[in-house]
Structure 1
Amino acid sequence: MDGDASCGKTSGLVWNLTSSYADQSNEASMVSATVIMFILAALFFNLNLFSGLSDASAILDPKVRIALSKALSLFLPVMSYLFSEAKNAGAGADAAELPLRARLILTWMLLVELLRNKVEVIPMQQHHGDGWHKGTVERAGRVAWLGSLVFFNLRGAGRRSVFGILWLLCAAKLVQRVTFTLVGNNSYAFGKNARLIVSYMRAPRVLLGKHGDVDSDGDDHELSLKTCRYVVMGENKLVTGPSPDGYSLTVADDSATATTTVGKIWKLAETDPFLASVDQDGRLRRLCLSMALFKLLRRSFEHLPPMSEAETRDCRELIFFRGGMYSSSSTEEEEEEEGRQKGAEDLFEVMKDETLFLSEYYHSVVPVAMASPIFLVANYLIFPAMVLLLCQVIIVLCGNGNLIFAFRSLGSDNYSVSFGVARMARCLLARVARSPSVFFSTIDLSITFLLFLVLVYEQVWELVVFLFSNWFLVSLLHGYATTDERRRSATFCWAVRRIQWVRSKMSHPDLTVKQFSALRSFRLWPPTILPAISLMTLPTVAVPKEVKHAVADYLLATATTASGLVSNGKLAVAAHPELRRLCQSESVAEVILAWHMATCLFEQRMKERPPPPTACRRDMIVATTISKYCAYLVAVHPELLPENQESTERVFQDMEEELRRTVSFWSYYIPAVAGGGHDKIINLAEKLDQALEPVQMSTLQKGASLWRSLDEEARCAGGGEDGMWKVLADLWVQLLVYVAPTAPDDRERVMGHAKVLQEGGGFLTVLWALATHTGIHRAAPPPVAVESVGCV
């Protein structure tokens, strides 16, 4: 009988909740509110459910973030209107209290405001202009508006308390975000850190290990990872005050307890038993090196002086020489080859983690950049305790200071609290198939429950990402290296070991590349909108180890030269006059697309022949992978290439138009069904006049001619297929490294890489960072002769 009576009360609640549907005048408004919230709840649920537990999970995909931000920008005014409609619809029934439907919409508005933090980036860098203040005022305005709806429309003490607590959580989140921004912008460890690092690198005894000798020809200094003075953490403790060109620092020797350097971590890993046991594979040491390099690279994004020649020379030697990351002292050829392969993997792991630090610093939705044990206690223990205390104050204030009445009214004024959500759900589900009113109520209450569930999950997700982030792990290592108490603490060592064990079970994002083939990629969209959807349709593959090894070998060879200049591919075809003649062009994009077409055609022909030997297969993997990645850069990210973006886009569009004319309609738009039109392009190559000059050829014609020359030389006894794949592999490695560096004053290219960081970075961004650190660069373009024009 008690259950029937309780379900009878639930029926009354259902009638109050769905009574607005019976009013034909506002039926559309009520249905719209439910549909809007159902879509938003589903989006947030899927976003949290499939966010994953990986190193990159502190970053939200920019496409998803932009879409949700635009949707949420319209949410508050639309739902405010629907709230007003629901309030007016129930005014006649009970003017003393807000109608149930209006209270439900208000609940949705408060929950969605709490979930906004999932799509808002925490700005850790220093801002210029009024962008930061504008965003803060907008967020404060939303919270103030929601507070007015709560405290000026609700009458019951219990109801006002419950909604007041939700509003207090919104206000607390706002204060928390503002605090993150203020602390980040004004801290030497975050917002001011890039300029601080510039001053640190200028200080004596930092460059070239322990001697500070800037003579690159001398051999009396020891430059290795064990003597590296690149700072990992704690440099903010060295500041004594600002100076005209930066900050005045007290840089002591490497035994100083205030800071942690790369050399200190490397030495400690060899002498400390605990650290040696948890870092047997060197992953923690490489992570600290990534943090140090990340701090050096930040100046490129914040309009600060670039790395000096001495700094780039040191970093180049640190990576490629004298026991560096990509060097081997083994005398056995097999051991040296194995060591170089592992060195290539380690090198790109360091650079990938560095770009991940950059991505999470500038585009994170979780405050991982501030990760430390102190911040963990302050943000996840003390702050929630203070919010809980304020919630109790809200309850007492809503009860006019009567403590007993205030807490009793929480149940008496809120049916869901007194009756219980689980019992209410059972009553609704028992009648959902027999009553349309119960059906609509079940949907509304399910949306509310789903939003609560997503909110709880988001808080847990944020804590998990924080605890197992690279930032928190480096912070723990910094504390271990600089504090004797933590070295002796069994609890601290246990925590580090447990975190390492959990991280080993988590997925870690690999370095990947997009693959775009001009002959086989789906083109069911106009070229003008290709960049908008290509990331969702083009295949993504992990960078093969063969590619890493080949690129690292070429970088090592380039680093050993005195100039540090990279080749634009001409070096690879120096022994092949016809190939060298055909790739003459002032446009890098044209060269890339021409060689891409030739490589795709050559690959297609090789598939019709017996499998190549292992060495040739390795060169095939290098050539085809880099070819399709470079073609992707031309098609999707022309802002990353070292030439005018509009020129690159024009070259690509012209090639696409000619390709569309050469192959059939179906072969162009649906190559997977009708074929990619390889035969027609081959026929084009066979009909071309060999005496035609390259300047008279289009990009597609150059690609077809290059393929013809490759095929002819591959059939020669002296060349062979193996030799041609070696030429293609060398050429593509050189082309990829050629487009990676940027000039110190090339802000357009740097900002292009900053944009790509929103997606977690890319392979070219990794190479750009490596080139910036090591001083690898392209030759300056020849000066353009300008005729003087006199006045008549």
Structure 2
Amino acid sequence: MKMRHLDPGSAYCNRIVHSYVYNLTSSYTDQKNESIMAGTSTVMLILASLFFNLNLFSQFSDVSAFLNPSVRLFLKVSLSIFLPVMSYLFSEAKKDVADTGEMDELSLRARTILLWMLLVELLYKKVEAMLCIGGSGGMAGYSGTIERAARIAWLGYLIFFNDLRSAGKKAFYGTLWVLAATKLVQRFVTLEVGKKSFAYGRNPQLLASYMSQILKEEGNNDDGPPEQLLKRCRYAVMGEEQLEKKSTAEGYHFEVKDVTTTGGEADDDKAVVTVGSIWRLADAEKETLLLQKDPKLKRLCLSFALFKLLRRRLEDFPISNDEAKNCHSLIFKGLCGQERPNHDDDEHQDTSRSMNEKEKAMALFQVVNDEVQFLCEYYHSVHPVVFASPFFFLTNYLMFPIVVYTACILTIILCSNGDVIYAFRSLRTDNYPISVGILKMTGCLLSRVAKSPPDLFSAVDVSVTVLLALTFAYEEVWEFLVFLLSNWFMVSLLCTYTSRRTTSARFVSTVIRGILSVRNMLSRPNVCVKQFSVLSLCWLPSSLPTVAVPVEAKVSIMKRLVTARDAAPPALPSFNNELSWTCEGGIAEFILVWHIATALLEAEHPVRKPGANRRAATALSRYCAYLVAFHPELLPGNKDVAEQAYKDMKEDLKKEMGGCWGYFCFRQAARRDKLKKVAEGTMTTKVLGKGARLGKALIDKAKKDDEHDVWKLLAEVWTEVVVCAGPADSEVHVKAHVEALAQGGEFITVLWALATHTGITRAPVPTPHHEHV
């Protein structure tokens, strides 16, 4: 029976939906604006489809509050020009009806355009980051809010002071307008409260005084077992804004109270949850055993504490030497310095130690990577995850919808002059999508598509409306899920769990376990790097493969960083005798020379299961080459010099490959053979020639001696390179890392964050580190 209703010849379609379809297609019968209307509908369909697909598929496998900045910029520009264009088309559609004198109500075409403008305005928050920095920007910081408020005011004028005379139609569009207006007010109030709060916008200046005070009170207190360093750690995770404080000439002085974890409630509501209180709680748990069973939760809280310290550095509050020394001990002695198990059998002792070191390295880099992700989301999140807490969940996702629902009900009643029964009846009868049903109406319209172009473009109009509505619904659901499953909400719950040692703690523990069960089914961010090779066919950064940083590389970098502060500051490797010529030039030239050599050796000896040193060397080599090619600003030294070195290498490679055809189309084997011939030629002073010459030397040594020793040398070289590249050598370098956060962060940014915390700096002059091959 339902299918018969969708028959183009059925009485249902012809009688019930005929007037709606006629009004929707009537604008196409006028030849003078047919092309404009058709073109607009097509462009809107493309934009709506793109918006829907980007929302659906870009986040399908990863719960993230972050949107690619390039995509966000494209959508923002598209939506910015949308309102003026749609306003013009709205006035044209309204004028066409006025010229005919047939109707005293807005035409269906005009109402469709008005509906698009409202739905797009509801989606606009997707392209705006929720940046919460206290005392910054002045009036310029409100430009986006003022612009959006002006758009919403204009839409309100079109709805309430135009030709929408039907109470039901005015109530329908007025409800959507109220939803857009209340969401703008909600966003504005949330950001304003956050900017003035010591927990968010003003936290850096508060934390600077807090860290200075606790470091003075503790003194040099980095002795003892590793676990004790973490249990004594007073780095604030949450709650420092609640401490009693007095303003002083140097900042603030606090009455510091730490949360107790031996049972019962916290000693005071104004107690700070510290890294130490969470680590002590893990030992004190007797019932839930939440932190004991999942140590990642403790480390997540440490990541959050470090994020707050690093954010303070980015907002012009420098890290003192005492703090860097304290953090160095906490990370490398505490987090990475736990005692290894003892074994009587020396043969198995190294294996056990190696496994333990892998676990430490994975824990270290996951902590710092989570910290960098906190930074990325803080400065570039399009969802309010920064404010994630049980209280914000209650107000934003439970109480606010009630307020919006009440405002919508009042709007419907007011549009009918207070007649409640007539208000809801007219809302249904005056709007075909509600009275008939959008699916039935779409079915009838689709059944007419093959008859004429106007029917086709009318179907496009309906499709645009449906896609925009589905995108908005999907965005609301996705924001809620991102909030619940975010690391921010998890840290807030863990702090609540730490400070409440009664029945409420058991309830919070149950909630945490439920969230973890869902998070474990979804992909989580890993420490990954892009892979670029001069022997590959891919030269676009967006299409480069991404791999997880090998555990072996993490272990070697961790070992090098442990000794990097005092004993041996990071520097580029230097060699004696035979390979001294590879050290000429800056870091970009060094990377390119050794990358070409590593790629040649890898191509000469392909294996199905590479060893540990080979995995580490090839992954780091390709990542460093990627940095030179696409992010030279993240490397130490002059960016222009790095760009010129890469440009010259590309030009030389293009010549050796026989022009553009060979440069873009030669396979890996052909490129390898060409580069081997370069090693025998006269190009000995250029990057390409040096790399080919070094590659030939490594290949000969691998054949003559032991290939394992060559890959061990390369692993050490590339470890030294990335450790050398990590620390910032200027504020320009720091700014480059901050800008990289907009892209989601890089592995080199993780190393920079670790070096910044621990006070690791680059050596001004390289010192000999390796023997010649």
**TM-score clears 0.5:** yes
Residue matched to 1:312: 324
1:733 match: secondary structure: helix
Is the contact made by 1:269 and 1:275 (CA closer than 8 Å) also made in structure 2? no
Query: Which residue is equivalent to 1:790?
Result: none
Structure 2 letter corresponding to 1:133 = Y
Structure 1 residues 703 and 422: CA distance shift in structure 2, 3 A: closer
Kindly provide the CA deviation profile for residues 651-699 of structure 1, in whole angstroms up to 9, marking residues without a partner as x. Answer: 111111122122222564324548543223222222349xx7xxxx121
**Matched residue type, 1:721:** E
Instruction: Give me the whole-angstrom Cα distance separating, in 2, the residues matched to 1:435 and 1:667.
Output: 48
SS in 1 for 2:529: strand
Deviation at 1:214, TM superposition (A): 2.3
2:335 to 303, 324, 329: 324
Are 1:365 and 2:382 counterparts? Answer: yes
Q: Which amino acid aligns with 1:701?
A: G
- How many Å separate the matches in 2 of 1:329 and 1:40? 57
How far apart, in 1, do the equivalents of 2:505 and 2:313 lie?
40
Q: Does 1:709 align with 2:697?
A: yes
Q: Is the 8 A contact 1:368 1:472 kept in 2?
A: yes
The aligned residue for residue 251 of structure 1 is 256
Residue 578 of structure 1 corresponds to 578
Q: Aligned to 2:432, which of 411, 415, 433?
A: 415
Cα distance in 1, alignment partners of residues 315 and 662 from structure 2: 44
Q: Contact 2:536 / 2:667 at 8 angstroms: preserved in 1?
A: no
Equivalent in 599, 618, 629 of residue 623 of structure 2: 629
TM-score, length-scaled by structure 1? 0.89
**Match of 2:481?**
464
Instruction: Assess if the C-alpha contact under 8 Å between 1:316 and 1:775 holds in 2.
Output: yes
Q: Is 1:136 the counterpart of 2:145 in the alignment?
A: yes
Counterpart position of 2:161: 152
Aligned residue identity for 2:708: D
Measure the CA separation in 2 of the matches of 1:56 and 1:242: 41
Matched, 1:58 2:65: yes
SS of match in other structure, 1:40:
helix
Alignment equivalent of 1:618, drawn from 599, 608, 612: 612
TM-superposition CA deviations, 1:189-224 (whole Å, max 9, x none): 1111112111111013x57xxx712277x7799852
The residue that corresponds to 1:389 in the other structure is 406
How far did residue 422 of structure 1 move?
3.1
Partner-residue secondary structure (3-state), 1:629: helix
Is 1:272 equivalent to 2:277 in the alignment?
A: no
Shift of 1:619: 1.2
Whole-Å separation in 1 of the counterparts to 2:450 and 2:673: 62
Cα distance in 1, alignment partners of residues 504 and 34 from structure 2: 68
Task: Specify whether residues 339 and 370 from structure 1 end up closer, same or farther in structure 2 by C-alpha distance, changes over 3 A only.
Answer: same
Determine if the alignment matches structure 1 residue 547 to structure 2 residue 547. Answer: no
TM-aligned CA deviation for residue 312 of structure 1: 1.4
Change (3 A) 1:274 1:353: farther
The alignment partner of 1:646 has SS state of helix
The residue type paired with residue 212 of structure 1 is E
| Residue matched to 2:759 | 775
> Is 2:756 aligned against 1:733?
no
1:568 and 2:581 correspond = no
Give the stretch that moved more between structures: 597-606 or 438-447. Answer: 438-447
Which of residues 468, 482, 497 is equivalent to 2:513? Answer: 497
Equivalent residues of 2:288, 2:506 under 8 A apart: no
Residue in 2 that maps onto 1:9: 16
The answer to whether the 8 Å contact 1:87/1:99 transfers is yes
Partner of 2:528: 512
Higher mean alpha-carbon deviation, 97-106 vs 437-446, is at 437-446
Q: Which moved more, 1:251-260 or 1:640-649?
A: 251-260
For residue 318 of structure 1, what is the amino acid of its counterpart?
L
Distance 1:731 1:302 in 2: 35
- 1:44/1:269 Cα in 2 relative to 1: closer, same or farther (>3 Å)? same
> 3-state DSSP class of the match of 1:143?
helix
Distance in 2, Cα, partners of 1:220 & 1:710: 44
**Structure 1 residues 349-364: aligned runs within 5 Å:** 349-364=366-381
What is the alpha-carbon root mean square deviation over aligned residues?
2.4
Map of 2:543 onto structure 1: 537
Distance 1:139 1:759 in 2: 25
Q: How does 1:425-504 map to 2 (within 5 A)?
A: 425-434=442-451, 436-485=453-502, 487-488=503-504, 490-504=506-520
Q: Distance in 2 between matches of 1:680 and 1:672?
A: 10
CA deviations on 1:547-577 (whole Å, 9 max, x unpaired) are 1122112222335xx355113122xx4xx52
**Identity level (%):** 44
SS of 1:232's partner is: strand
- Could you tell me how far apart the structure 1 residues matched to 2:247 and 2:289 are? 39
Q: Is the 8 A contact 1:239 1:247 kept in 2?
A: no
Q: Which digits, 9 at most, give the CA deviation of each residue in 1:450-501, with x for residues without a partner?
A: 211111111011001100111111101111111245x445543322221111
Assess if the C-alpha contact under 8 Å between 2:258 and 2:277 holds in 1: no
Write out per-residue CA displacement over residues 520-547 of structure 1, whole angstroms, 9 at most, x where no aligned residue.
Answer: 2434xxxxxxxxxx33121111112121
| Structure 1 unmatched ranges of 5 or more | 524-533, 783-792
Counterpart position of 1:170: 180
Shift of 1:6: 6.2
Cα distance, 1:244 vs structure 2: 3.1
| Structure 2 spans left out of the alignment, 5+ residues | 261-266, 343-348, 767-773
Does the C-alpha gap of structure 1 residues 10 and 763 become closer, same or farther in structure 2, counting only changes over 3 Å? same
Specify the code of the residue in structure 2 equivalent to 1:99.
Answer: S
Distance 1:676 1:723 in 2: 27
Decide which of 115, 124, 134 is 1:116's aligned counterpart: 124
CA separation in 2, counterparts of 1:220 and 1:171? 57
Measure how far apart 1:311 and its partner are: 1.3
1:302 alignment counterpart: 315
**Contact persistence 1:667–1:676 (CA under 8 A):** no
* Number of aligned positions between the proteins: 742
Shift in CA distance, 6/715, structure 1 to aligned 2, threshold 3 Å: closer
Deviations 1:12-63 (CA, angstroms, capped at 9, x unpaired) = 1111111110101111221122112201210121022113356651000111
Q: 1:260 to 1:672 in 2, by over 3 A?
A: farther
Q: 1:240 is paired with a residue of what secondary structure?
A: strand
Following the alignment from structure 2 to structure 1, what is the Cα–Cα distance between the partners of residues 245 and 434? Answer: 56
Comparing 2-11 and 751-760, the one that deviates more: 2-11
Of 318, 323, 348, 2:365 maps to 348
Higher mean C-alpha deviation, range 618-627 or range 271-280: 271-280
Deviating more after overlay: 581-590 vs 343-352:
581-590
Rounded to whole Å, the distance in 2 between the matches of 1:711 and 1:586 is 24
Shift of 1:243: 3.3
Distance 1:682 1:429 in 2: 63
Please say if 1:754 is aligned against 2:738.
yes
The CA distance in 1 between the partners of 2:758 and 2:396, in whole Å, is 38
Partner of 1:522: 538
In structure 1, what is the Cα distance between the partners aligned to 2:77 and 2:43? 14
Aligned partner of 1:335 in structure 2 is: 352
Change (3 A) 1:597 1:345: same
> Is residue 51 of structure 2 the alignment partner of residue 44 of structure 1?
yes
C-alpha distance in structure 1 between counterparts of 2:762 and 2:175, whole Å: 60
What whole-Å deviation, never above 9, does each CA across 1:217-269 have from its counterpart, x for those lacking one?
Answer: x7799852121111111111115244333333221355355211111111111
CA pair 220-618 structure 1, distance change in 2 beyond 3 A? closer
2:50 and 2:749 map into 1 onto residues whose CA distance is 31
Q: CA deviation at 1:434?
A: 4.2
User: Which portions of structure 1, spanning 4 or more consecutive aligned residues, are displaced by more than 6 angstroms?
Assistant: 218-222
Counterpart-to-counterpart distance in 2, 1:240 and 1:417: 57
Q: In 2, distance between residues paired with 1:140 and 1:623?
A: 54
